Structure 1
Amino acid sequence: MTDETLTAPDPQDEQRCGYVALVGRPNVGKSTLMNRILGLKLSIVTAKPQTTRQRISGIKTTAEGQVVYVDTPGIHRAAGRALNRHMNRVARASLQDVDVVLFLVEAGRWTNEDDHVAQALERVGVPVLLVVNKIDRVSDKSGLLAWLKEHAREDRFEHVMLVSAKSGAGVDDLEDRVTELLPFSRPLYDEDQFTDRSERFLAAELVREQLTRRLHQELPYALTVEIEEFKRDKNLLRIGAIVWVERSSQKQIVIGKGGNVLKQVGSGARAALEQLFDEKIFLRLWVKVRRDWTDSEQALRELGFDDPAG
């Protein structure tokens, strides 16, 4: 009897594993798609562009293998302030050391920003899939075919996939295609791990999501959230968060008359936190001013923004 007959093959040797970057201009549905694939709320989602500011990885483990999806800020041309430059650096750095890139665009709409992203992807040495999102909004299918013929050139993309991140249409096929392109490898993370981010980071993001949803168009870009307290006490998780703004006038808007806005934010955030962590939450929020923090590289570092170069 030979050694080969004594040794059974390891099923993990037949699995695929790798990193997949989700890129595109702001507000094309990258975070919604990752949440759909994972089957849980990981990346925050709002109707406002540039909601995602930092890289966040979502890990999906199945019998076929493990896929680490990397959600990134939207790549955009206008990058005057330090925060905008930071988001562009994060998005571009996420293209390094990945196995597949998903380039998301909006069905029937190709902008100069999409061209800007496409040009950046021409130098990527891994398969790039064009993922046409929001197909549920397109009623003119013949028009969509003509649009695809114009923009989805075969020499530019490995595959073209039509999906609706909102409804889930086409997402299973996309996942199958992604898995086929990944190398054979053992899993990088434990089977029950769903992100590489800390609980503090996730808590701050969920609070910021509620602020973004409840405040007017411009103010969300001038605020960030820092977790000051994160402590489990018997059957209660105590979270204390500071909402940083740039102006005293912005502080009053966030608090609201009689504290009503901050109370609404706290109520919504607490519900989202309890759903994510599956435990009772006691949440306290403070609003403080740090002038011009969005245009200060030092302030960004001190407030916990990752340096993709470091």
Structure 2
Amino acid sequence: MSLGLIHKRQAGLTLIELMISLALGLIVVAAAIMLFLTGQKSYSLQQGSADLQDNANFGLSYVTKDIRLANLNALSAEINDRTKAGGLVLTSKDNGYKDTAVTPNKIYSNLPDSVTGKTAAVATLSASESHSSNVKLAGTDLKSDQLVIQYKPQYTTDPDTAANWFGGFDCEGDRISFAKSAPQRIIVQRYFLREDDNKNANEPNQALALACDAGWYNESGNPAKVEDYGGEGEIIMKRVDYFRVLLGIQKANDHRYIAVKDYMNLSGVKPRILSIQLGVLVRSSQSVGNDALVKNDQKFQVLDNEVTVKIPANASTKYVRQVVSQTIALRNTFGERGR
């Protein structure tokens, strides 16, 4: 009896088939990783853009609303560097126009002559190139501007205390409320850039923010200073690299926008101010990684200045930036009131 041999065929992959399978697998994994990284980059860019839009649009809208209050309830509709208790705060006793033709000499300024000291210093008035920035102009470091307005609120009886006047809230969010037996108050608000104490360790440049500092002085009597004024104020917009202010002036049929320093350098009686242009260069709070679309040498047109951002030491981390501008008509300067 013969026994038949049973043959079993071995099944498997050849070396070439194995290499092809591995290669295909690596391609699929690489494509998946690429999709993941692209998605992450796109998400970071969208998050940065959304953060920038929210910060810029809401912040600038808040500032615009407040600035429209300038010259509210003032005696004169025409404002310049000599308008008392209204309009923009360009001058104080320290830098106001001095009329030497009369004795004693008379000083024309936006703040009362009795206000002296720190709150009358030029550093607390509207000015060009007076605060920090993160930009350069033609290769030279450029500072940010400062804008100061003043107005008299529309006072009503305080709903919480009938013996008090109530004038709403200032730009720092503080209630304007005081006894009716006291003189009514003129509110002063200062907009400027300062460094944010609440910052990340890997900020690309100075963590600058647009802040507002509010104070007040009595409408009557001889106030010695602007109360509660000259501090760090409250932050309105985070991560602002540059803040620019232009004044819209009218003289005869000539209407144009000029910087605060150029306005103050005009000779004779300064022309009437009818509007303000604000320009801010804002950046996202969150990094968008090393996206090639974001260039460190990109130029930004902020009103009349074409600026570039100071290149940070850690140039590998990039941020989205955008210029936001607004033209604000000073409604309380129209007409011929006070003439």
Structure with greater strand share of residues: 2
**TM-score, normalised on structure 2?**
0.21
Q: Larger radius of gyration, structure 1 or 2?
A: 2
Structure with greater helix share of residues: 1
